[in-house]
Structure formats: C-alpha cells, structure tokens
C-alpha cells in the first residue's frame, strides 16, 4: 500500500511523527510525506531522511501557506535530488473568495508549475472549488499530474483522465456519494490513494458500520493515518467489483511510476 499524500509533519497533528513512521514500516510499502509550507517541509525532510519508506513532496498551500513561497521553491531546488514531487500546490476557491487573492494564488501556482517542469518532477495539485481553473493551467503539461483529494465534477474528471493525468481518491470516499461515483469511473490505471492525514479520518464511517474495532489501537480515531487507505481500497473494490488486492496493487504500481520510487 502507498499513501500518496500524508501530512505526517503537520504542526497540529498531535502525534509523534516517529511513532507513525515506525508503524508505517510494518503496514505500508511507502508513504509520500507531503508538506504545504516551509517549516513543515523542513520537518518532512528530516523525517524522510531517517526512514527509507518515506518520501518527501514539497509544496505551498494556496490558502494556508506561510507567506513565503519563494523559500519553499529555494528549498526544492536545493533538495531536488531527494524530493519526489512538487506539491501540494494549486488554487483554493473554497476558502479564498477575494479576487485579488485568487489572482495571487494563480501567480504562485504558475511559478510552481514552471519549477516542476524545470526539475521534471510530478505535480500534486490542490484544487478545492477551483478544479476547472487548475486544469486549465496544467492541461498542456507533458509530465505526471495528480489531482489531490479530487472533489470536482465527473465531466472534468473525464477531461483530466483524457490528458493522461491521475486522480487521487481520499478516504472521504467512504462518506461521499459524489466521490464514490468518481471513484467508480476512474480506471485503476489512473488512480492513486491518499489519506490527506491527519484529516479525513474514516472513524465515523466505521462506527456506522459497526467496524470501529478495525481502527488501529493506540492511535487517535479522530485523526487519519496512512494505513487507513486500506478502507478506501475496500470501498473502491466493492464499487468496481474487483478484489481489494487488485486495487492496492494497481494504485501502488501507479505511485511507484509517478514518483519514481526506489523501493
């Protein structure tokens, strides 16, 4: 199993990243440790350097960045041999309504797109309520692009897939009917799995199904962890009428290919 998007060094996780990393050694093939601001990126580098199954992806959150995207870009160039992806980066129209701030988001996103092209790294796109605009900015790229935590329309998903890009299905698939429709239509060959940990915990879903005992003991049920992508894989397998193993195997192969992982 590979979680392609987990914020293990998120400041408010409230868990020891080392504890999670060590548990992942037993549960996961690999984890892409994502960062969305400079300080989080520094911590992610340090964590990944100690654990060969963890790989850093560096980015800048369009709505929650720290005001210094240039520092993140400098760090990416400095550590280009270690990072496996650029992101998450993109646009966020859910939280940001001001037109001037949206234009600034586009400028920053454009800079990171150019950096991804320069370094030939896959691009991980944050596109909450701005999916069409994000797609318009990346659709000509000749490199892997993942639409992280996708929540857009089916029609746009079809366009994304036609470009040969990837759609990442989060653990929110357990709770969202709309996302289940998307997951059902996305071919496994263009799908990745993610938790967006510590967000999008599957605990409420498992409780309603009487399966809360399947959550790993010793970890906060209200937070998400990389190994919880197994629950997403089970739901996707049910939707597609294939085996869980097939879902996990194909999405793992995709992640290895996209990020050039050496396992």
DSSP letter string, 46-99: HHHHH-TTEEEEE---TTT--S-HHHHHHHHHHTTTT--EEEEEE--TTT---H
Query: 166 in a domain, yes or no?
Result: yes
Q: What is the DSSP letter of 37?
A: S
Give the integer Cα–Cα distance in Å for 74 and 129: 28
Q: So what's the pLDDT on residue 242? A: 98
Query: 50 in a domain, yes or no?
Result: no
Q: What is the DSSP letter of 197?
A: B
Q: So what's the pLDDT on residue 221? A: 96
Query: Both tokens of residue 233?
Result: 């894989």
- Residues spanned by the domain of 231: 2-41+55-259
Query: 48 in a domain, yes or no?
Result: no
CA atoms lying within 13 Å on the CB side of residue 150: 33
Query: 49 in a domain, yes or no?
Result: no
Q: So what's the pLDDT on residue 19? A: 96
Q: So what's the pLDDT on residue 14? A: 87
Query: 46 in a domain, yes or no?
Result: no
CB atoms < 10 A from the CB of 64, how many?
Answer: 12
pLDDT digits (tens, 9 = 90+) for 32-81: 999 999 999 999 999 999 999 999 999 999 999 999 999 999 999 999 99
Q: So what's the pLDDT on residue 12? A: 86
Query: 47 in a domain, yes or no?
Result: no
Q: So what's the pLDDT on residue 11? A: 87
Low-confidence ranges of the chain (pLDDT < 70): none
CATH assignment at residue 161 = 3.20.20.140
Q: So what's the pLDDT on residue 123? A: 98
**β-pair partners for 131:** none
């Amino acid at each position: 199993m590979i979680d392609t998007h987990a914020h293990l060094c998120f400041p408010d996780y409230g868990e020891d990243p080392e504890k999670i990393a060590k548990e992942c050694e037993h549960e996961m093939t690999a984890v892409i440790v994502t960062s969305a601001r400079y300080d989080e990126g520094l911590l992610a580098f340090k964590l990944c350097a100690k654990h060969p199954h963890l790989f850093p992806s560096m980015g800048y959150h369009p709505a929650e960045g720290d005001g210094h995207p240039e520092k993140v870009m400098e760090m990416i160039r400095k550590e280009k041999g270690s990072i496996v992806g650029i992101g998450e980066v993109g646009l966020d129209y859910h939280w940001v309504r001001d037109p001037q701030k949206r234009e600034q988001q586009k400028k920053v996103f454009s800079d990171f797109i150019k950096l991804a092209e320069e370094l030939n790294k896959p691009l991980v796109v944050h596109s909450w309520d701005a999916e069409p605009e994000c797609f318009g900015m990346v659709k000509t790229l000749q490199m892997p692009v993942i639409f992280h935590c996708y929540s857009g329309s089916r029609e746009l998903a079809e366009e994304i897939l036609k470009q040969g890009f990837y759609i990442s299905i989060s653990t929110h698939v357990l709770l969202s009917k709309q996302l289940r429709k998307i997951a059902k239509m996305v071919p496994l060959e263009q799908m990745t799995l993610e938790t967006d940990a510590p967000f999008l915990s599957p605990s409420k879903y498992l409780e309603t199904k009487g399966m809360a005992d399947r959550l790993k003991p010793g970890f906060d049920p209200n937070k998400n962890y990389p190994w919880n992508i197994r629950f997403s894989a089970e739901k996707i397998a049910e939707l597609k009428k294939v085996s869980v193993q097939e879902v996990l195997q194909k999405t793992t192969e995709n992640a290895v290919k996209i990020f050039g992982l050496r396992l």
